[in-house]
Every structure is written in structure tokens, then in C-alpha cells.
Amino acid sequence: ELKVEQNPLFLSMQEGKNYTIYCNYSTTSDRLYWYRQDPGKSLESLFVLLSNGAVKQEGRLMASLDTKARLSTLHITAAVHDLSATYFCAVLMNYGGATNKLIFGTGTLLAVQP
């Protein structure tokens, strides 16, 4: 069974600083997602990474994927308070036909302090 691990689980950082969230997974997959979740809200899709070496950027967030290392990173540049949220990575497992399943990581709670 695929396992998805994120670290750190909690990240407190100051505004203006840079940091990286790591997502490791245990089985080969060709699709990885990053989601954001605000307290009491649903999941907002940030990035879909489809191939080895894929890099996507939106504002202060940049995600990358290394399928050989089974590792994805979410890099935060010059953090601002509005980025405070829980970030999840999720790996798609295909079981053939119409059966596929998103396996989520444990989440990283990001708190950006002024």
C-alpha cells in the first residue's frame, strides 16, 4: 500500500523567509498534487505535477517532482501571512480501468508570523 509522508508536520516561519515542505512517497506514481486547506474550508488545488523534473510556480509557491527519488517539494519564497494554511500533497494510484485513488500525506500546518 502506498504511503505518503510529509515533513515537517508543523512549520512556523517569519514573514519574508524561505522554506521548503517535503513529500515522500513509497510507490511509483505518475501524478502528484499539492492542495491548500484553510481552517474549516475544503481543499483548494494548487499544482498537478505529471512527470519527472516537472516544476510549477504560482506566486510565492513553487512545486517540483523527482519521480526517481519519489520526492516532491513545495518551496515558499518570502512568506506572507496569507500563506498560513495546511498544505497536503497527494499521490495518485492507478489500479487499472476506472479505479484510481488519491493517497494524501499527513499535511503540513504552516503558520507565518509577522
Partner 1 sequence: EAGVAQSPRYKIIEKRQSVAFWCNPISGHATLYWYQQILGQGPKLLIQFQNNGVVDDSQLPKDRFSAERLKGVDSTLKIQPAKLEDSAVYLCASRRQPSSYEQYFGPGTRLTVT
Q: How far is the CB of 16 from partner 1 (least distance, A)?
A: 28
Q: What is residue 53's three-state secondary structure?
A: coil
Give residues in contact with partner 1 (CB under 8 A): 4, 31, 33, 40-43, 45, 48, 50, 88, 90, 95, 97-102, 104-107
Selection from 108, 25, 38 nearest residue 71 by Cα:
25
**Residue closer to partner 1, measured from CB, 17 or 101:** 101
Minimum CB–partner distance for residue 68 and partner 1 (Å): 22
Q: Nearer Cβ to partner 1, position 81 or 101? A: 101
Give exposure, 3-38, as e/b (b: 16+ Cβ within 10 Å).
Answer: ebebeeeebebeeeeebebebbbeeebebbbbbbee
Least separation in angstroms between residue 35's CB and partner 1 is 8
